[in-house]
């Protein structure tokens, strides 16, 4: 049992959950209408849910369909970028972004 808990400390659970979710979205076919939902808004038959379509949008994006991704949910592209950055940060692959130096570089590019 002690070995189990020691191995859990080495694995970042949050990163594993995000990676698993993205892998599931990569292997599903986003054009099918049959899917299981855990959306509470959809399950109680409310007509609007602010997050519905986000998973399908990310799936379309992973499959390379940018236009369909944007049509499903406008926040699909930023969501995938944020999740990718979060995974890289949790796995300590990505260095921290220095926003001050980044904004200085962007201003240099824009203003010459």
Model pLDDT for residues 87-101, shown as the tens digit of each residue: 888 887 655 556 566
Q: How many domains does the chain have?
A: 1
> What's the rounded Cα separation, in Å, for the pair 4 and 24?
25
Residue closest to 71 by CA, chosen among 81, 82, 61: 61
Q: What is the pTM of this model?
A: 0.66
Over residues 9-46, the pLDDT tens digits come to: 566 788 888 888 899 888 888 777 666 677 787 778 77
What is the CA 59 to chain-centroid distance, rounded?
A: 10
What's residue 32's pLDDT? 74
pLDDT value for 107: 66
Range of the domain at 45: 2-111
Residue 1 pLDDT greater than 60, yes or no: no
C-alpha angle with apex 6: 94 to 90, nearest 5 degrees? 15
């Amino acid at each position: 049992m002690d070995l189990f808990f020691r191995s859990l400390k080495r694995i970042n659970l949050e990163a594993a959950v995000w990676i698993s979710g993205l892998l599931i979205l990569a292997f599903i076919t986003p054009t099918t209408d049959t899917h299981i939902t855990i959306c509470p808004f959809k399950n109680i038959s409310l007509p609007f849910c602010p997050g519905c379509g986000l998973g399908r949008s990310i799936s379309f994006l992973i499959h390379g369909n940018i236009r369909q991704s944007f049509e499903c949910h406008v926040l699909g592209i930023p969501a995938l970028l944020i999740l990718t950055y979060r995974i890289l940060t949790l796995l300590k692959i990505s260095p921290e972004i220095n926003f001050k130096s980044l904004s200085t570089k962007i201003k240099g590019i824009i203003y010459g």
